[in-house]
Amino acid sequence: MAEVSVENSIEPGRKGNAVSRFVWTYVFATDHKVIGLQFLFSSLIWFFVGGFLALAVRWQLAWPWSDMPIFGHMLFAESGGQMSPGFYNMLFTMHATIMIFFVIIPILAGAFGNYLIPLMVGAEDMAFPRLNMMSYWFMWPAFGCIILSFFMPEYGASAGWTSYPPLSVFQGDAQSLWLLAMVFVGISSMMGSINYLTTIIQMRAPGMTMFRLPMTVWGMFITAIMQAFALPVLTAALLMQLSDRMLMTGFFLPENIAVNNGVATSGGGQVLLWQHLFWFYSHPAVYIMILPAMGMVSDIISCFSRKPLFGYRPMVYSITSIAGLGFIVWGHHMFISGMNHTLAMSFMVSTMLIALPSGIKVFNWIGTLWGGKLQLTTPMLFCVGFVSMFVIGGLSGIVMSAPPVDIVIHDTYYIVAHLHYVLFASSVLGVLGAIYFWFPKMFGRMMNEKLGKIHFLLTFIFLNGTFFPMHFLSRMPRRVADPYIYEGLKDLLPLNQFMTICAIGMGLTQLIFVANFFGSMFFGPKAGRNPWNANTLEWTTVSPPPHGNFDVQPIVRRGPYEYSHPETERDFFPQTESS
């Protein structure tokens, strides 16, 4: 390990010309850092695709049936650029699918998980580098299926990202491609999670006990466990729906239903079975989409407070109990689905319980800030933004965990507000903070602070302008192309137009980030090994780290949060430093 030289950053043992070296280094890479960056770049590209779809949804809600800019005349020449209701259904279906399965999960587990786990535990690479490569390459068939589905009739799957049968079973062929894509994504995540678990359990540097792991690694570890347990269920459900569509089985189809002018079905199935199986994965998926972000936010907040993370062990226990409880709360998506109403009571209790560990985390983050010597850098601002937005998302979660209240707000814009506060205003802010924080490690250069702060300020204002008013639309159903055909909803048009304008502003703001990202990659000031004066192992090696990661075998001597330790002069105390 010690003999790996710093310069040797390409795949060792590869000879040949520049092209083949490039292909073997960046395309068929087995280095966890290159794979992490592959995930990062593909997720960011999909982030913009998903964002465009969201803007199209907002366009329709603000100015229904008016000519859609740019794409309207390309796709709907015969109607003069106005979108069809089926196209609208495709928009929100694919927006959710892309954002969840191609952006947030891969960027958290795929990009940051891959990049950070070996560096933070002090390993030279993942336990199974080739499996790791496969896990990225299994994303591409999924990308292919989804891209292909955009060229099918109706321009893609349009049964909602939840794909409830019987509707989804009777959709066009794009739905089959959607199901296949989800199977591939699942396989990719499964390979990743096996790899993360093995690496974290087996390949920690000497002295790195489990309770010396940074919260980022804990977040990834628990997430990997959740994925490993929940994914098989989703995969089975996806294949069952696929066989309902292609092989005329009837897992999810009851008898005597007629859709599309009477398609005979074998019947004998249960419609609600899909919902149970789907949410058994997709509720844990909600935590899969936030626990790694919580871990990274904990590290960043502690670093810029120059103070130990408040209550490290309770933080670990609360992540663990969120994961455990996360498996027994799926029924709160189904309070009014027609499942046994008594069952709603037990799911309500478990859902309320999950508010406890989430609350503990928030209180501990505040405890970390309190009495610190705060450095309000861009990553820190994003992380404080994460905490305050997560409070809002968590509190609206308590509102809807009450089944009688859920009767009113289920499937309305209140739910849309809640999920965007958790997934966008929390997870995505956390991810952006993490990008600003680890960018110097990834590319060896600093990002521009001024642009970063403007990016944060505008994103923060516009996201609240977009999502906070959604709380007040608790009588406006989701997934409705033209809510204003209801007399009782006509007065909501101005509010919707305001939200759309904010959403467009939020979209444009991200261009600042793109400019900063690529500008800093080439022209940013050089970062050095440890630009933030942080404690964790990845900051002891050069930026960017070479293949093999460390020039010296790291020996871990203390926990990751010894900031402002009374026994040292400096306000940080790296994990490897001898006292």
Partner 1 sequence: MNRFWSVLFLLVPILGIASVLMAMYGVTPLESAWLPKSLSQAGDTIDQLFNGIHLLAAFILAGTVFTIGWALWRFGDRGNSNEKARYVTHNTKLEITWTVIPALILVFLAFFQMKSWAENKMDRPTVTVDGVSTFKAPMVMVKAKRFGWEFYYAGDDGIVETQDDIFVENLLVLPAGEEIVLQLESRDVIHSFYVPELRLKQDIVPGMTQFVWFNAREEKEIEIMCTELCGWGHYMMKADLNFVSRAQFDAWIEEQKAAYSPEFKNVVEPSASLGELKKLHSPQLSKVSKSLLEINN
Q: Which of residues 433-492 bind partner 1 (CB under 8 A)?
A: 457, 460, 464, 468-469, 471-475, 477-483, 485-488, 491-492
**Between residues 46 and 335, which has the closer beta carbon with respect to partner 1?**
335
Out of 41, 508, 528, 571, name the contact with partner 1 by CB under 8 A: 571
**Longest pairwise C-alpha distance within the chain:** 79
The Cα 241–Cα 273 span in angstroms is: 11
82-to-60, 64, 70, 76 alpha-carbon distances in Å: 9, 9, 11, 6
For 333, the token pair is: 């998506």
In one-letter notation, the amino acid at residue 577 is E
Give the nearest distance from C-beta 494 to partner 1 in angstroms: 9
The Cα 63–Cα 66 span in angstroms is: 6
* Region of 4-12, 177-185, 204-212, 265-273 interacting with partner 1 (CB under 8 A): 265-273
**Between residues 198 and 464, which has the closer beta carbon with respect to partner 1?**
464
**Between residues 1 and 273, which has the closer beta carbon with respect to partner 1?**
273
**Between residues 222 and 381, which has the closer beta carbon with respect to partner 1?**
381
Residues 56-75 that bind partner 1 (CB under 8 A): 64-65
Give the nearest distance from C-beta 352 to partner 1 in angstroms: 4
* Region of 102-110, 209-217, 222-230, 335-343 interacting with partner 1 (CB under 8 A): 335-343
**Between residues 216 and 302, which has the closer beta carbon with respect to partner 1?**
302
| Residues present in the chain in total | 579
The Cα 216–Cα 221 span in angstroms is: 9
Give the nearest distance from C-beta 565 to partner 1 in angstroms: 6
* Region of 163-171, 234-242, 280-288, 527-535 interacting with partner 1 (CB under 8 A): 163-171
145's CB contacts (< 8 A; 6+ apart) are 177, 178, 180, 181, 184
Residues 271-300 that bind partner 1 (CB under 8 A): 271-272
**Angle at which helices 291-305 and 429-443 cross, to 10°:** 70
The Cα 347–Cα 326 span in angstroms is: 11
* Region of 24-32, 266-274, 287-295, 426-434 interacting with partner 1 (CB under 8 A): 266-274
The Cα 35–Cα 530 span in angstroms is: 23
- Asked whether 169 and 241 are in contact (CB, 8 A), the reply is yes
Residues 71-100 that bind partner 1 (CB under 8 A): 79, 82, 84-86, 88-89
Kindly report whether the peptide bond that precedes residue 566 is cis, defined as omega within 30 degrees of 0: no
Give the nearest distance from C-beta 93 to partner 1 in angstroms: 9
Residue 85's nearest CA partner among 471, 503, 499, 485 is: 485
DSSP for 129-161?
Answer: HHHHHHHHHTHHHHHHHHHHHTTSGGGS--STT
Out of 412, 426, 496, 536, name the contact with partner 1 by CB under 8 A: 412
Give the nearest distance from C-beta 533 to partner 1 in angstroms: 12
279's CB contacts (< 8 A; 6+ apart) are 330, 331, 333, 334
Out of 32, 307, 333, 445, name the contact with partner 1 by CB under 8 A: 307
Residues 137-156 that bind partner 1 (CB under 8 A): 154
CA 252 to chain centre: 29
Give the nearest distance from C-beta 27 to partner 1 in angstroms: 40
Residues 362-401 that bind partner 1 (CB under 8 A): 362-364, 366-367, 369-376, 381, 384-385, 387-388, 391-392, 395-396, 398-399
Q: Is 23 in the site for partner 1 (CB under 8 A)?
A: no
Out of 23, 248, 408, 508, name the contact with partner 1 by CB under 8 A: 408
Give the nearest distance from C-beta 256 to partner 1 in angstroms: 8
Q: Is 254 in the site for partner 1 (CB under 8 A)?
A: yes
